[in-house]
């Protein structure tokens, strides 16, 4: 369940691109030099760089489109060798060097930054930024603020793309039960009400309004912390408020499926018995596009991500993919120039048109989001353009402790424990985990 909660940060891309193993990809997989062109690159010798993708969704197709093909023009003598690792395994951030592999360009998400910091696989980029006159101010301010909170002594990562999450809904289910569609700037209270009206049986089929996001995602909207001053911060009134909201969705026992919390993606896309769905847009749009191509289109639209009434207009926590120069690389200057190149407006525009939102603070580019998808015609683009990400107050323990919060939510939703007990027990578990980490 915990790994499923992190699906926005990693896993297999919706278009089926593989993220496992190691492979040489690009124009010169053999390592031979490409034919000369007018790129003007000062790097004339053939070089193979290791592109290390750590628990972040980027398919082989996207790697080719946003890295391999552009590099053919700008750096024709460069070949990328891709290595992928999940959150744990023989090629994870703690084991990659011992495996004999040597990363050059690291591609991951902000969620994994504490791991790379702990593994000492971060290169400070301030000198490279100054040397290349690279403008960091071109990125979204929320992203820049987040990076500073992870590393206050300088810049260690360059943003690439940012995840956006609207609320998708199946018009057919709303029409079937004569319930009004959700509106932009809805609150979670509004969604709870819709869920109660739509969770019903009809013709022997159990319909549900929405399978709500896990507790972690709800708390992230309020920028809640998981730890501070080497202590867990789970057992408090703020997290209690989050679990109270989560519990409200499951007061109707019909929300459960044989005593379990149903899988949101399966219910919304495959069975089409859940009226609303919210997760990262790129994956959802790829699924909806695939359904349309198979002649099984859904009658859908989207609205802005629901907000807490005291934080109107604030959606999911800022979640972005980023690039780093490995401190072990022998080609650090080249790697940084590649990173700078793929954040150019040209590449970022192409990426955004294909439903991977730019990390640039550029509304003109954002307006073109997913325009290469035929299914987007006539849809409510305000749900994307008006997306506002919640801030973040990270700690080095968030990956583990956020899983504890989700487990507390499951305990409450399934009626195994009351809210106070669930939070107290997870607080104790969190304190124990932190103490163990400090003792290492």
Task: Find tokens 């071109």 and name the residue.
Answer: 138
DSSP-assigned states of every residue in 41-87? -S--S-EEEEEEEES----HHHHIIIIIHHHHHH-TTEEEEEEEE-S
What is the spatial distance between Cα 210 and Cα 215, in angstroms, rounded to a whole number?
14
Q: In the Cβ-directed half-sphere of 105, how many Cα atoms lie within 13 Å?
A: 25
Domain 2-162+318-381 homologous superfamily, CATH: Periplasmic binding protein-like II (3.40.190.10)
293: Cβ contacts below 8 Å, ≥ 6 apart: none
Single out the residue of 113, 67, 170 nearest to residue 320, CA to CA.
113
Query: pTM of the full predicted structure?
Result: 0.84
Q: What is the pLDDT of residue 40?
A: 54
Per-residue pLDDT at 56: 87
Domain segments of the chain as ranges? 2-162+318-381, 167-315+392-439
Which pLDDT does position 45 carry in this prediction? 85
Burial class (CB within 10 angstroms; exposed 0-12, middle 13-18, buried 19+) of 94: middle
Cα–Cα dist 381/289, whole Å: 16
Q: How far apart are CA 67 and CA 128, in angstroms?
A: 20
Please give the pLDDT value at position 41: 61
* Axis-axis angle for helices 419-439, 398-413 (nearest 10): 160
pLDDT value of position 277: 98
Domain 167-315+392-439 class, CATH top level: alpha beta
Question: Quick count: other Cβ atoms within 10 Å of Cβ 126?
Answer: 12
Res 280: pLDDT: 92
Q: Are 315 and 307 in contact (CB under 8 A)?
A: yes
pLDDT of residue 38: 42
Tokens linked to 51: 């592109």
Q: 356 burial class (0-12, 13-18, 19+ CB within 10 angstroms)? A: buried
Longest dimension (CA), the chain: 69
pLDDT of residue 88: 84
Q: According to the model, what pLDDT value does residue 438 have? A: 95
Residue 17 gets which letter from DSSP? -
In this structure, is the dihedral angle defined by the CA atoms of residues 340, 345, 346 and 351, taken in order, positive or negative?
positive
Rounded-to-5 percentages of helix, strand, coil across the chain = 40, 15, 45
With CA atoms as reference, report the closest residue to 23 among 96, 106, 82. Answer: 82
Neighbours of 295 (CB within 10 A): 6
- Rounded Cα distance, 60 and 81, in Å: 11
**Helix, strand, or coil (residue 423):** helix
* Tokens read off for 376: 């987007």
d(CA 301, CA 59): 26
119-to-16, 95, 321 alpha-carbon distances in Å? 30, 9, 19
307: helix, coil or strand?
Answer: strand
The reply to whether domains 2-162+318-381 and 167-315+392-439 share a CATH topology is yes
Residues 133, 209: Cα–Cα separation, whole Å: 51
Print pLDDT tens along the chain (440 aa): 333 333 344 443 333 333 434 444 443 333 323 333 445 567 778 999 999 999 888 999 999 999 999 999 999 999 999 999 988 889 999 999 999 999 999 999 998 998 999 999 999 999 999 999 999 999 999 999 999 999 999 999 999 999 999 999 999 999 999 999 999 999 999 999 999 999 999 999 999 999 999 999 999 999 999 999 999 999 999 999 999 999 999 999 999 999 999 999 999 999 999 999 999 998 999 999 999 999 999 999 999 999 999 999 999 999 999 999 999 999 999 999 999 999 999 999 999 999 999 999 999 999 999 999 999 999 999 999 887 899 898 998 998 999 999 999 999 999 999 999 999 999 999 999 999 999 98
Q: Which pLDDT value is given to residue 158?
A: 98
**What's the confidence (pLDDT) of residue 27?**
37
């Amino acid at each position: 369940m915990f790994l499923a909660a992190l699906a926005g940060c990693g896993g297999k891309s919706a278009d089926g691109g593989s993220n496992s193993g190691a492979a040489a990809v690009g124009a010169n997989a053999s390592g031979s030099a490409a034919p000369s062109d007018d790129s003007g690159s000062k790097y004339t010798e053939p070089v193979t760089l290791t592109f290390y993708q750590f628990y972040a969704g980027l398919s082989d197709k996207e790697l080719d489109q946003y890295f391999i093909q552009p590099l053919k023009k700008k750096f024709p003598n460069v070949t990328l060798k891709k290595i992928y690792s999940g959150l744990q395994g023989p090629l994870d951030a703690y084991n990659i060097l011992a495996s004999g592999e040597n990363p050059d360009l690291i591609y991951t998400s902000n969620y994994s930054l504490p791991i790379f910091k702990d593994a000492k696989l971060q290169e400070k980029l301030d000198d490279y930024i100054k040397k290349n006159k690279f403008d960091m101010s071109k990125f979204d301010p929320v992203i820049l603020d987040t990076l500073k909170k992870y590393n206050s002594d300088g810049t260690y990562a360059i943003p690439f793309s940012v995840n956006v999450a609207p609320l998708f809904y199946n018009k057919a289910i709303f029409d079937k039960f004569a319930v009004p569609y959700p509106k932009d700037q809805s609150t979670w209270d509004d969604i709870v009400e819709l869920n109660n009206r739509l969770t019903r049986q009809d013709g022997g089929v159990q319909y549900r309004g929405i399978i709500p996001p896990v507790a972690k995602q709800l708390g992230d909207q309020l920028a809640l912390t998981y730890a501070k001053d080497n202590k867990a911060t789970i057992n408090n009134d703020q997290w209690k408020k989050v679990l109270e909201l989560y519990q409200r969705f499951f007061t109707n026992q019909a929300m459960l499926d044989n005593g379990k919390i149903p899988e949101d993606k399966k219910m919304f896309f495959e069975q089409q018995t859940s009226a609303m769905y919210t997760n990262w847009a790129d994956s959802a749009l790829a699924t909806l596009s695939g359904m349309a191509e198979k002649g099984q289109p859904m009658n859908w639209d989207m609205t802005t991500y629901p907000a807490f009434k005291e934080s109107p207009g604030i959606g999911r926590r800022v979640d972005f993919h980023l690039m780093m120069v490995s401190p072990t690389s022998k080609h650090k200057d080249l790697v940084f120039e590649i990173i700078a190149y793929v954040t150019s407006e040209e590449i970022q525009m192409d990426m955004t048109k294909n439903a991977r939102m730019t990390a640039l603070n550029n509304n003109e580019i954002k307006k073109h989001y997913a325009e290469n998808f035929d299914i987007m015609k006539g849809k409510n683009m305000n749900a994307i353009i008006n997306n506002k990400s919640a801030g973040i107050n990270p700690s080095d323990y968030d990956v583990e402790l956020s899983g504890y919060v989700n487990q507390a939510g499951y305990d409450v939703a399934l009626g195994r424990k009351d809210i106070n007990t669930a939070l107290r027990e997870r607080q104790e578990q969190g304190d124990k985990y932190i103490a163990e980490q400090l003792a290492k």
